[in-house]
Amino acid sequence: MSITPLMPVYPRTAFRPVRGEHCHLIGEDGRRYLDFAAGIAVNALGHSHAGLIGAIQHQAATLMHVSNLYGSPLGEVLAQRLVDLTFADTVFFTNSGAEAVECAIKTARAYHQHVGNNHKFELITFNQAFHGRTLATISASSQEKMHKGFEPLLPGFKYVEFNDLDAVKAAIGPNTAGFLIEPIQGEGGIRAASDDFMKGLRALADEHDLILALDEVQCGYGRSGTFFAYEQYGITPDVVASAKGIGGGFPLGACLATEKAARGMAAGSHGSTYGGNPLAMAAGVAVLDAFAAEDVLANVRDKSAKIVGRLEQFIGNYPELFEEVRGRGLLLGVKLKVEPRGFVAHLRDNHGVLTVSGGDNTLRIVPPLVIDDSHIDEFMDKLSAGAASFPLEPAGQ
Ligand SMILES: *Cc1c(COP(=O)(O)O)cnc(C)c1O
């Protein structure tokens, strides 16, 4: 047998992390790495956060799981806190980002079908988008590399160019149910929607009675410098999918909606066995407690300004390697002039710093939201050593 016991869908590195300490990871061989990947924008509080660990340990010993057939005191607490912090009136908890997006898609369809508009099932989505790996969420993405081998796709998605409002207008038809968009594309290369574009989508949604659903799985939960990225656009969405940072590393996602948008999500219409279980809810509450106690949003804005300032200065030293700095908050990217995977591997293996590659030749910089100035210094030192030693034109090519 040549297949590995772990299904080989990920090309895994030789680096095998076994322990986390705040903003660092330690490998099996004892080597330390500065973690500016954070489990792909997940470990908002870094690793080994005492409050999060304590909440999970306590809840695990008290009650880990019950079904959603029963009342949920902790679920009510977390849902109420999210309602108080956002546009939303109601929340469905999931175990992952793709499930949160899946719920957003179902909510948008059900909104129309609730009043008999069964033909309004199509969501307009955007080129280079990433929404997850379930069949519905790969169908929502235009990226063919995620479709290959898994066709037929789910019908009901129309792809248009990101930040092109005229293309959106042209794509709206009798079957349109709404829009599904990442305000800041993560996987696609840290590309932010323009102000005019997001405001334009809101206006079109109002004009045509469509659902504006945001995928804030990566850009939400403080990552962009506000609790959710939509706040920076001065718009109110109808539905938002959240995950990644929401559990600080514990598997948790959420679909947030207004009362109006959720009008089709009646009793018995949707569900999840694990979704919203007491252990996940305790983790979610602990993350929000830490956000408040440690003023995480202010830290994101402060550290973002510092790191962006330094990156802007720095990239000019290597014009043949770096093109531009992108992103908001601590959802940052440096567009490279080369395919980023080699540079990510070089930084990791030769300089002990973890980053993530993204689409559009982007090096993603998504550290824990609790980094301090010393981590920025360490990052810039390692990045600069990495750039200096990176073989742009390897011998023999
Ligand atoms: C990561 C991500 C998802 C999928 O989340 P999973 O937890 O992997 O299912 C969906 N949308 C966006 C924008 C993401 O970054």
Give 252 Cα–ligand 1 centroid separation in angstroms: 11
Out of 130, 134, 184, 366, give the residue to mutate to test ligand 1, the one with the largest number of ligand atoms within 8 Å of its CB: 130
Task: Give the nearest ligand 1 atom to 101 CA.
Answer: 10
What are the CA-CA distances from residue 295 to residues 77, 220, 228, 332 (Å)?
Answer: 20, 16, 15, 20
Task: Give the nearest ligand 1 atom to 219 CA.
Answer: 13
Residue 341's nearest CA partner among 320, 366, 369, 363 is 363
Give 169 Cα–ligand 1 centroid separation in angstroms: 27
CATH code, 50-293? 3.40.640.10
Out of 9, 244, 250, 362, give the residue to mutate to test ligand 1, the one with the largest number of ligand atoms within 8 Å of its CB: 244
* Residue 219 structure tokens: 């850009």
What's the rounded Cα separation, in Å, for the pair 23 and 77? 29
Give 356 Cα–ligand 1 centroid separation in angstroms: 14
CB neighbour list of residue 135: distance below 8 Å, 6 or more residues apart: 150, 153, 154
Neighbours of 127 (CB within 10 A): 16
Q: Domain segments of the chain: what residues? A: 17-49+295-389, 50-293
* Residue 53 structure tokens: 């660990």
- 133 is known to lie in a ligand binding site: yes
Task: Give the nearest ligand 1 atom to 182 CA.
Answer: 13
What's the rounded Cα separation, in Å, for the pair 227 and 109? 27
Contact 184, 331 (CB under 8 A): yes
* Residue 90 structure tokens: 């109601």
What are the CA-CA distances from residue 186 to residues 91, 234, 279, 327, 336 (Å)?
Answer: 23, 20, 28, 9, 15
* Residue 102 structure tokens: 């899946």
Out of 217, 242, 362, give the residue to mutate to test ligand 1, the one with the largest number of ligand atoms within 8 Å of its CB: 217
What are the CA-CA distances from residue 274 to residues 66, 248, 252, 262 (Å)?
Answer: 8, 17, 10, 21
DSSP codes of every residue in 158-218: EEE-TT-HHHHHHH--TTEEEEEE-SEESTTTSEEPPHHHHHHHHHHHHHHT-EEEEE-TT
Give 41 Cα–ligand 1 centroid separation in angstroms: 10
Residue 347's nearest CA partner among 322, 316, 313, 319 is 322
Report residues whose beta carbon is within 6 angstroms of any ligand 1 atom: 96-98, 101, 130-132, 182, 186-187, 215, 217-218, 243-244
Which CATH number does the domain 17-49+295-389 belong to among 3.30.470.30, 3.40.50.720, 3.90.1150.10, 3.30.200.20? 3.90.1150.10
Give 182 Cα–ligand 1 centroid separation in angstroms: 10
Neighbours of 396 (CB within 10 A): 4
- 130 is known to lie in a ligand binding site: yes
pLDDT for position 1 = 83
Residue ranges, the chain, pLDDT below 70: 394-397
Pairing, β 122-126 against β 176-181: parallel
- 273 is known to lie in a ligand binding site: yes
Q: What is the pTM of this model?
A: 0.97
- 215 is known to lie in a ligand binding site: yes
Number of helices followed by number of strands (H, E) in the chain: 12, 17
Residue 256's nearest CA partner among 132, 97, 123, 87 is 87
Give 62 Cα–ligand 1 centroid separation in angstroms: 30
What's CA 336's distance to the chain center, in Å?
Answer: 21
* Residue 289 structure tokens: 């407690």
pLDDT for position 394 = 57
- 217 is known to lie in a ligand binding site: yes
